[in-house]
Amino acid sequence: MAFSITDSVVRLYSEIDLNEGEALRLYARYAGSASNGGYSLGVIPAQPADGDDIQEVSGLKFCIKPDDRWLVDDMKLDYDEGEDIFYCEFPALN
């Protein structure tokens, strides 16, 4: 499992105060646009659990539960700072 997160996303998410040992959990939410099959990406601070996949991007750790791997596999997440909008590509939904 691997995904791509741009530096602009890392800069934005680095502003979140994480407690010791916490990462940002990425998870599948059934609340999105029809173009993404009704799914969207959720992000919350969380302690990684046993069995989670962990990927570090520019010093920021992201964790994913096994049941959510399907959504983030090969995902590309970008953030346009000028427009204040996220762009996310989910190959699993194509």
* Domain covering 4-93 assigned CATH 3.30.470.20 in the classification: no
Looking at residue 30, its pLDDT comes to 72
All structural domains of the chain with their residue ranges? 4-93
As to burial, measured by CB atoms within 10 angstroms (0-12 exposed, 13-18 middle, 19+ buried), residue 69 is: middle
Looking at residue 67, its pLDDT comes to 93
Place of tokens 């059934």: 30
| Nearest CA among 62, 47, 50, 46 for reference residue 9 | 62
Task: Give me the tens of pLDDT residue by residue for the chain, a chain 94 residues long.
Answer: 689 999 999 999 999 999 999 999 999 887 655 555 667 889 999 999 999 999 999 999 999 999 999 989 999 999 999 999 999 888 887 7
User: Which pTM value belongs to this model?
Assistant: 0.85
The C-alpha atoms of residue 50 and residue 47 are separated, in whole angstroms, by: 10
The C-alpha atoms of residue 52 and residue 64 are separated, in whole angstroms, by: 5
Looking at residue 29, its pLDDT comes to 82
